[in-house]
Amino acid sequence: MSFLNKNIINLEPRIFGLDLSDLSVKVFQLEKNGKRDVVRGYGSLDIPPGNIEDGRIINREQVAVAIKTLLKSPSAKKINSNKVICSLPESKAFVRIITIPKMSEEEAHEAVRWEMEASMPMLLNEVYFDWQFLDDDDSKTQKVLTAAVSREVVDDWMEVLALAGLDVYGMEIESMATIRSLVKNNTTEDEAVSLIVDLGARRTSFIIAEGIVPYFTSSIPFSSEGINDAIIKTLNVSDQEAEEVKINNGIENRDEGNPIFTAVSPLLENLVMEITKTMDFYGEMSKQSQEVKRIILCGGGSNMKGMAQYLNERIKKEVVMGDPWINLNLGNSLSVIDRSVSVRYVTAIGLAIRSLNYGN
């Protein structure tokens, strides 16, 4: 599902993924070498605070400059295309699965519009929306995946990418790309329901996926910035030192003498509460009485040492670190990005995977 999908003549287009968020921009390009997938170029660059706020671009020129600067960096310079598929902010998106009576796609247009208008917090004329049928064995009803994003946000994104000299070949909500990156592409909704917890710099996104299909998404203010701030205040260290302490020491040792755990414990308990509420909400909404089988962590905040074990003990669910290489065939070669760093790239990698299969 994409809000923009250009028709192209070249049967093997070179397209890269670009993940744009409040505080950073990341790029990633994959290419095929026979049956193997190869990482061609990648990179990440921080964007100074104030240029993008909660998914809204405040300073278009500065964001465009950041994108162009990143594409000139050593590892990203290998990207050999100006064609891009870009992420759209989850906080400005609405993703839901709806059910309508069985009908043809032509007949479904009005039924889907009506259902979306009834359940969406935005007016339909204020958004770009898309939808697609999902496989459904029930002969009387049809499941439909719906998605909508603010027109203002999409138009701003398009303008910035044009200023950066890029040709937009697709725009996709973050959750779609994240699922493509972290959930095995042959997983069915009957096999597994996953809760992806994306611990970002400014917010944490929750994505419930039935197999490889997003069921619903939400976000909370919990952030890796908040974790770092708590460590800075408790240990009186710099922001860089707090990041290093979080990754290298973390909360693996959770006795009363660990000042890091003391500092972040209230934040983590709030995260546990929000995860539990999200799983309960899904349990109430799911008509198939399914439950979340596992929790997948990603994003910069997931790198805190001991985080997965802590959540496992508190929530009593399988908790794993996301593996963004799960749907790629890298052969015998090792990835050029360490796994602890790759969890920051999951959305960009998901967009790059879509680029490999553009047009399918």
CA distances from 232 to 135, 235, 243, 252, 286 (A): 49, 5, 9, 18, 41
Which H or E run contains 216? strand 213-220
266 and 119 inside one domain? no
pLDDT of residue 284: 84
271 and 286 inside one domain? yes
Residue from 295, 292, 297, 350 nearest 321 by CA:
297
pLDDT of residue 256: 66
143 and 1 inside one domain? no
17 and 156 inside one domain? yes
Number of domains in the chain: 3
| Averaged pLDDT, 214-224 | 89
Residue from 27, 15, 3, 25 nearest 82 by CA:
15
Say how far apart CA 285 and CA 274 lie, in whole Å: 16
Query: Taking 90 as the threshold, does the pLDDT of residue 123 lie above it?
Result: no
* Separation of CA 234 from chain center: 31
Query: Taking 60 as the threshold, does the pLDDT of residue 199 lie above it?
Result: yes
212 and 268 inside one domain? yes
170 and 48 inside one domain? yes
pLDDT of residue 59: 97
Residue % of the chain over a pLDDT of 90: 54
Length of the chain: 360
pLDDT of residue 9: 47
| pLDDT band of 3, cuts 50, 70, 90 | low
Say how far apart CA 254 and CA 270 lie, in whole Å: 17
113 and 218 inside one domain? no
Which structural domain, as residue segments, surrounds residue 304? 187-322
CA-CA-CA-CA torsion for 227, 335, 308, 351, nearest 10 degrees? 70
pLDDT tens, residue by residue, 79-96: 999 999 999 998 888 888
For the domain that residue 172 is a member of, what is the CATH number?
A: 3.30.420.40
131 and 30 inside one domain? no
129 and 162 inside one domain? no
pLDDT tens, residue by residue, 261-306: 999 999 999 999 999 999 999 888 776 667 898 999 999 889 899 9
204 and 281 inside one domain? yes
pLDDT of residue 81: 93
